[in-house]
Amino acid sequence: MRPLLRLLYCTCALLLISPPLAGAQQSPSGTTAYTTFIRGNPVGREDVTVKSDATGLIVTSEGRLGDPANLTIRRVEFRYGPDDAPQSFELNGTSNGGELNIRTTVTGNLATTQSTQTGTTTQTINPKAVLHANGIVASYAALARRLGFVAPGSELRVYVVPQVEIGVRLINVQNERMQIGAEFLNARRYDLIFQNPGTNTAVTVTTGVDGNLLTVKIPSQGVDIVRVDLASATSRTSVHSNPGDEPVSIPATGFNIGATLTRPKSAATGARLPAVIILAGFGANDRDGYSVGIPVMGQLAGALANAGFLAVRYDKRGYGQSGGRSESATITDYADDARTVMRWLAERKDVDPKRIALIGDSDGGWVALLAASREKRFAAVATTGAPASSGAELVLELQKKNLDLLDLAPQERAKREALQKQIIAAVQSGKGLNDLPPDVRRSADTPWFQSVLNFAPAKVLKDVQQPLLIMHAALDHEVPVADAERLAGIAQKEGNSKSVELLIVKGVNHLLVPAVTGEIAEYGAITDRNLAMDVSSALTAWLTRTFAAIK
């Protein structure tokens, strides 16, 4: 699910401005290995050692992060005193072949940094700040130890060496279980908002009950940091559970799709039930559509089951318990996966093959529309918060929104906008790719990015013949309400849908939960963390009417 498509615009840039590495297992020496994934593609490994005693906490590591950072860590060390006060940070390694040496010493509230890149700088910081270095998994290992002593709603101060001190707000803490094969590991999930200059970034840190780091997720950047033994396709995090949930494995071409089937409580024995396939947006790869501490797709499955529908949600290919290769997947591939799930449902004796619908959330609505346009056996399709722009237009829109948050000189802004347009033109045409910076080309010249740039929902809508519901949150500040009106207008004037309904839900934000302003900055202060009743009731009412008309 969210935040919408932020991983897309100028894809390479984000990877260099916020944290990275992951994947690991405990060895006798106390060292834990982590693998970092970007959109499911492993790009680095870091071996982290944590030592804690009466003198304080020391976290050390070594490892490597591939393109586009090309960072080799010969040794990194974070040192804290017994009172959690930061004492020092040291990094020795290389970045893109050049030497990288940074040493920060903290005395009271003064942090002095000596760096091969920036020289010597001194900044005033909070004397209890957590030290953070972009691209270093060990940063999160130290943060994980601190989170166990922080109350929800509180704010930590974090010093990003050697740049700036930021606030990190803890918005939610929840106990959960991680499944590894047939075994379960008790864990604790912390939902955080990193209050970076110009924008907020949602980050989820999961630890063991002992405070040791297990995973880090940065949905907006498609970044996952995972302990090695938790990175296999046999493992998944039990984020959300409904009473009627049943884990299933759905055969696809060359791999299996890990999914959850949610049954209605009161289904009559032998009855053939109407079924709904739920598709999360591009920023959420797990079946629960988890974002900012809210498993909205998991909650939606429960609401659909309560209304008498059999619901299916699944991990995207290459994630969780689903096989396949995520790094080469395209929007068409995701649509094909939805069609595979539909065919699997249609063969079940407890499903009515004439009444199988799709619900696509956010940019997952694109996948739902494409799947419905190619598979006429879908009985109905609904979108929630879907963009109306083409992929290329959307990337430029998102860049503009992010640039609006930054204090840039006109010349610098124009330079960035020009580069983004150059990237789009080169990827779409296949010409001029060699003129792009090497790291930009490696990140942008991919099947995934090509499929996004070339996607046009207006063209797809012309081939959608099923009844169509376009639902949108009135307080959506990620995808404007005007997009829903535009989609509905295209479908009504140029499309072939049997019926088109437009529904704007008041008092709800892009996450489909109750909100006051709907602004992204409000996400961290959300108190009602449940799918809005108006959303679930409207969806189930529309499905009931639509299915009733099918003979």
pLDDT of residue 69: 67
Q: Nearest to residue 391, comparing CAs of 332, 431, 441, 336?
A: 332
| 246, pLDDT greater than 80 | yes
> Tens digits of per-residue pLDDT, 61-78?
999 887 666 788 999 999
Rounded percentage of the chain residues whose pLDDT exceeds 70: 90
What is the pLDDT at residue 43? 83
Specify whether 373 is located in the same domain as 463.
yes
- Which of 235, 257, 280 terminates a domain? The answer is 235
pLDDT: which is higher, 2 or 534 = 534
Residues 533 and 514: beta-carbon distance below 8 Å: no
Domain end position, chosen among 452, 474, 504: 452
Q: In Å, how far are 3, 291, 441 from 279, measured between CA atoms?
A: 15, 14, 30
State the first-to-last Cα distance of the chain, in angstroms, to the nearest integer: 34
The encoded tokens of residue 410 equal 């006109």
Question: Which positions ≥6 away from 90 have C-beta within 8 Å?
Answer: 75, 76, 77, 102, 103, 104
SS3 letters across 437-483:
CHHHHHHHCCHHHHHHHCCCHHHHHCCCCCCEEEEEECCCCCCCHHH
Domain harbouring 300, CATH code: 3.40.50.1820
384 close to 472: Cβ distance less than 8 angstroms: yes
- Write down the mean pLDDT value for the chain: 86
Handedness of CA 306, 312, 315, 316 (dihedral sign): negative
- Same domain? 117 vs 207: yes
pLDDT (mean) for 361-374: 95
Looking at the structure, tell me whether residues 216 and 268 fall in a common domain: no
Q: Is residue 2 part of a domain?
A: no
Domain co-membership, 300 together with 401: no
In three-state secondary structure terms, 174 is strand
Domain shared by 364 and 493, yes or no: yes
Query: Do 480 and 363 belong to one domain?
Result: yes
Query: Do 221 and 353 belong together in one domain?
Result: no
Q: Which two tokens stand for residue 204?
A: 């989820």
Q: 40 pLDDT band (50/70/90 cuts)? A: low
Residue with tokens 């396949």, as numbered in its chain: 324
Based on the fold, state whether residues 317 and 278 are members of the same structural domain: yes
The answer to whether residues 345 and 405 belong to one domain is: no
| 5 belongs to a structural domain | no
Does some domain include residue 97?
A: yes
Q: What is the pLDDT of residue 21?
A: 28
Lowest mean pLDDT among 44-53, 251-260, 316-325, 449-458: 316-325
Whether the pTM exceeds 0.85: the reply is no
pLDDT digits (tens, 9 = 90+) for 397-430: 888 877 776 677 888 888 888 988 999 999 998 8
By CB neighbour count within 10 A (0-12 exposed, 13-18 middle, 19+ buried), where does 65 fall?
buried
- 197 lies in which domain range? 11-235
Instruction: Give the three-class secondary structure for 428.
Output: helix
Per-residue pLDDT at 232: 61
Pairing state between β 468-473 and 380-384: parallel
Note whether residue 4 is domain-resident.
no
At which of 209, 235, 261 does a domain end? 235
Is-contact 195 169, C-beta < 8 A?
yes
Q: How many domains does the chain have?
A: 3
pLDDT tens for 171-214 read 888 888 776 655 677 889 999 998 887 678 889 999 998 889 99
Same domain, 152 and 210: yes
